Structure 1
C-alpha cells in the first residue's frame, strides 16, 4: 500500500470529490481528511504503489496542488520506538546506549557525561553522497534523443525514475509532441500490464504534453472514453493512427475529429466504420490530406461493397494520398474516388480484388494518379500482415504476394505443382473456422 499526500487544496474539497479525481488511477483503500474543519490537505491511500506513482505524475502541480508520496510511504511506517535500542519514549539521538561494532550489539551506557570531543564528532558526522551517474554529464539535447528512442511506455514506467535530470526531461511537454503506442511488440504484455494500464499511461502522456501533441499512434487498447480524453486535450493534433481498435465507435471518432481542426492525416488499420461515419469524418476534417482505411484482402465468394469508397469520394475532395488496402469496392467505388478527389497524387489499391483495371478505368488511373499501386502489386513493403483470406472452397490464407494470379495465368501445372488441385477442406489434418482461417 502507498499513501499519497495532497496539499495546497483550495477551495476545500470533499472525500467523494477526491475519490472521483483519483479513482481512474487505481484501487483506493481509503481517503483521510484532517479533523477540526481544516481542508488544506488530504491523504489518498492506494492499494498498489505503481497506481500511486501514476496519480502523482498526473496531478502534481495541477491547480497548484502539491501531490507526492507521504513520509510513511517513502520511509516506511513511522513508529515511536528508538531506532537504536528499540525502546519507547525517546529518539535515537537521546539514547544512552551505543552500538558495538565488534560484538554487533548494544553496550551499556557509560556513567557520567560524554566527553566533549565525542559529542562534537557525533553531531558533525554527515554521510558522503554517492557520485553522480556518468550519463548526467551528457548534453541535454543528446539525452533527449536517447530518451526519445525509449518510447512513452519506457519513459513513464522506468526512465523518469532513474535520476532527477531524466525526470525533468521526461516531464518536458516537448517530449510528448508524439505519443507513439504503435506496434508495442515485447513491451505489450497483457499479463504483466493489462489494457487499463496502457490507458493510464496514455492519459499521463497526454497530460504531460500540456496540449502540444501533434501525432498520436495507438494500437489495440483505445476506447471511446480514452479517445474523448485525447480530443479534449489535443487540439493541435495533425496525425492520428489507429490499429485494431475495435472498442472505438464511429460516432465517437467522428465527434473527436471535430476537435482536431488541424488534422491532416488519419490512418485506420482493421478498424471498421460505417459509410455515414466516414462521411462525417470527411466533412469535419477540411484539411485532411492523407487517409488510410485498410483491411484484409479476400477472394472466393466475398461480398462486394463500394459504400466506403463512395463516402470517401463524396466527403474528402482535398485528399492527396489515399490507401484502401484490401477493400471490397468495385469499379463503381473507384470511379467515385477519381471524380470526387481530383487532387489525388497517390492511390494504393493492393488486394482490392473486386476491381477490374483492364479497360478504360485502368487507363484513367494511370493518367490521373502519379503513384498507383495495383491490386496485384507486391506487398513486401506493407506494414502489417498481408496474407490473403480465401473464403472459397479451399479456405486458407496465402502469404504470397499475389495469390490472385493463379486464377489467370497460362502456365500448365502438373499433378504435383498445381496449387489448387487439392480440396484442402477435406483433409483431416486441416481445421478451418467459419471465416476460412487455417489452424
Structure 2
C-alpha cells in the first residue's frame, strides 16, 4: 500500500476483496477530492486502525481530512496494535486519547488492550454514546471505575477480563450504573498464576462475592463469561436465579463449581453452556469429519451483540 502514496490521487482505485481494502495506483479511480467523507469512511473502516492512521493521510487531502474527522472512528479497534511489540500503558493511553478525540464524542465501540486510568478517564469524559467497551488486561483501578462508571450508562457489552485491579468494588459500580448491559466478559487468569488455587477445587474456599454482585446488579445479562472464576455453587445459583434473561454462560475452569442439585439441569437448559470441564478439543474430536460444526461452536464463544 505504501507504493501508492506517490500516485495521482485522482487516479487511485480502492478495491474491496474479501472484506480487505486494496489501494491500487492508476486506472481511473475517480474524483476522490469530491467524495463525501461519509462515503469514504464506509470504505476506510474496513482497514485496520494502524493502516488508517499511517497510510491514508499521505495519499491525498480528501483521505487525510476523512481520517482526521469523526466518520472513520465510530468504532475504534486497536487491540492488535496494542499487543504488537508489547506496547506500554502510556503508548496505549496516548493512542486511545488521540482516536477518541477524533470522534468528537460519537465513539460507539472501543476495543483496546492495557488501558490505564488516564485513558479510561478520557473515554469516560468523551464517550457518552459508547455501546461496547472491551479493555481486557488493563490497569484500570476500582477508584477510577467508581468515579466514572456513570458515564458508561449506555454500554451493552463490557469486557474486563484479566483486569486484576478491578475488584468487587469496580464490578459493583459497573452493575449499578450500566443498566443496559447484556454481555459481560470477566474471564480471569489461569489458576497456575495463583499459587493458592488448587486445580482440583480442594483446599480452598470458594469466593462467591463477584458472582453475587453480578447477580444483584446485572439482572439483564444475556451473555456471561466467567472463565476461571473462583465462585462456587452458591454464586452460580444466584446468577441463574436473578439473571433471568441469560442465554449464554461460560464457566470453563471454575473448578469450585460442583453443579450439585438441579444446577446442572438448569445450566444445560440455556441456549449455550460451557461447564467448568468443557474442552473444545474434545468436542472437535468427537465430531469426526464434521469440522463445520466444531468450528461453529468455537466461533460462538466470541460472538458479540
Contact 1:254 1:284 survives alignment (8 Å):
no
Matched position secondary structure for 1:225 = helix
Answer yes or no: is 1:282 the counterpart of 2:175: yes
- Distance change (3 Å), C-alpha of 1:194 and 1:260: closer
Structure 2: runs of 5 or more not aligned: 1-5, 14-28, 192-198, 282-305
Contact 2:117 2:144 survives alignment (8 Å):
yes
The aligned residue for residue 322 of structure 1 is 224
Answer yes or no: is 1:213 the counterpart of 2:107: yes
Q: Which moved more, 1:172-181 or 1:129-138?
A: 129-138
TM-score (normalizing by structure 1): 0.52
Deviation for aligned residue 1:266: 0.7
TM-score (normalizing by structure 2): 0.73
Deviation for aligned residue 1:146: 4.7
Deviation for aligned residue 1:164: 1.2
Answer yes or no: is 1:236 the counterpart of 2:126: no
The aligned residue for residue 254 of structure 2 is 352
Q: Deviations over 1:265-322 (max 9, x none)?
A: 1111211322222122101111111111101343155552111101111111111111
Answer yes or no: is 1:364 the counterpart of 2:285: no
Within-5 A mapping of 1:9-408: 131-132=8-9, 134-135=11-12, 137=29, 143-184=40-81, 188-190=84-86, 194-220=88-114, 222-245=115-138, 247-272=139-164, 273-298=166-191, 299-300=199-200, 304-357=206-259, 359-367=261-269, 369-379=270-280
Rounded to whole Å, the distance in 2 between the matches of 1:130 and 1:285 is 48
The aligned residue for residue 74 of structure 1 is none
Structure 1: runs of 5 or more not aligned: 1-128, 381-439
The structure with the largest helix share of the pair is: 2
Rounded to whole Å, the distance in 2 between the matches of 1:287 and 1:379 is 31
Q: Deviations over 1:83-118 (max 9, x none)?
A: xxxxxxxxxxxxxxxxxxxxxxxxxxxxxxxxxxxx
Pick the structure with greater CA Rg: 1
Rounded to whole Å, the distance in 1 between the matches of 2:157 and 2:40 is 30
Matched position secondary structure for 2:76 = strand
The aligned residue for residue 300 of structure 2 is none
Matched position secondary structure for 2:151 = coil
Matched position secondary structure for 1:372 = strand
Within-5 A mapping of 1:396-435: none
Deviation for aligned residue 1:194: 5.0
Higher RCO (CA-CA < 8 Å; seq separation 6+):
2
Contact 1:297 1:352 survives alignment (8 Å):
no
Rounded to whole Å, the distance in 2 between the matches of 1:297 and 1:337 is 22
- Distance change (3 Å), C-alpha of 1:379 and 1:271: farther
Q: How many residues align?
A: 246
Rounded to whole Å, the distance in 2 between the matches of 1:200 and 1:297 is 30
Deviation for aligned residue 1:130: 7.8
Contact 1:320 1:345 survives alignment (8 Å):
yes
Q: Deviations over 1:2-28 (max 9, x none)?
A: xxxxxxxxxxxxxxxxxxxxxxxxxxx
Rounded to whole Å, the distance in 2 between the matches of 1:332 and 1:212 is 41
Rounded to whole Å, the distance in 1 between the matches of 2:163 and 2:69 is 32
Rounded to whole Å, the distance in 1 between the matches of 2:81 and 2:280 is 22
Rounded to whole Å, the distance in 2 between the matches of 1:131 and 1:343 is 55
Rounded to whole Å, the distance in 2 between the matches of 1:318 and 1:239 is 16
Q: Deviations over 1:390-420 (max 9, x none)?
A: xxxxxxxxxxxxxxxxxxxxxxxxxxxxxxx
Rounded to whole Å, the distance in 2 between the matches of 1:211 and 1:316 is 26
